């Protein structure tokens, strides 16, 4: 099976802009989770979607949002970008939800200037 894919792999934006990242889960996986990875804060949970519904959300401001489509593909959006949003954004898919085994994609590296 193909692994989790994320697009784009690299992105450069300026402060105030918005960005949309995409994630395609492993075939058959209905749960998709998003994480932010930074050198200072490490890996932090953003949110998880299962069958197009957000089941859980981490402690991030409302500028961070996501959605999931009927084919389980997911997108996350960050509006009004800040310098501190520069990070590696990781998507993970699971056949059982975040309580189950999660498989990560390669991530999208976002740089905010």
Partner 1 sequence: GENVEQHPSTLSVQEGDSAVIKCTYSDSASNYFPWYKQELGKGPQLIIDIRSNVGEKKDQRIAVTLNKTAKHFSLHITETQPEDSAVYFCAASTDYKLSFGAGTTVTVRA
Backbone angles phi, psi at 72, to 5 degrees: 75, -10
Give the residue with the Cβ less far from partner 1, 82 or 96.
Answer: 96
Query: What whole-number distance in Å separates Cα of residue 11 and Cα of residue 1?
Result: 27
**Pick from 8, 34, 42, 37: which is nearest to 102 by CA?**
34
Of these, 87, 107, 110, 112, which contacts partner 1 (CB under 8 A)? Answer: 107
Give the residue with the Cβ less far from partner 1, 38 or 80.
Answer: 38
Near partner 1 by CB under 8 A, which window of 12-20, 66-74, 78-86, 91-99? 91-99
* Binding flag, residue 60, partner 1 (CB under 8 A): no
Of these, 19, 29, 33, 76, which contacts partner 1 (CB under 8 A)? Answer: 33
Contact in structure between 13 and 111 (CB atoms under 8 Å): yes
Backbone angles phi, psi at 83, to 5 degrees: -55, -35
Residues that bind partner 1 (CB under 8 A): 4, 33, 35, 42-45, 48, 55-56, 58-59, 90, 92, 97-107
């Amino acid at each position: 099976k193909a692994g989790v894919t994320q697009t784009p792999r690299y992105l450069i934006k300026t402060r105030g802009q918005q960005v949309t990242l995409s994630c395609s889960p492993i075939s058959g996986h209905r749960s998709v989770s998003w994480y932010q990875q930074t050198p200072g804060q490490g890996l932090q949970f953003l949110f998880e979607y299962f069958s197009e519904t957000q089941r859980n959300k981490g402690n991030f401001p409302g500028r961070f949002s996501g959605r999931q489509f009927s084919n389980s593909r997911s997108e996350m959006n960050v509006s009004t970008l800040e310098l501190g949003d520069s990070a590696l954004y990781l998507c993970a898919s699971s056949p059982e939800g975040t309580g189950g085994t999660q498989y990560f994609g390669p991530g999208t590296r976002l740089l905010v200037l």
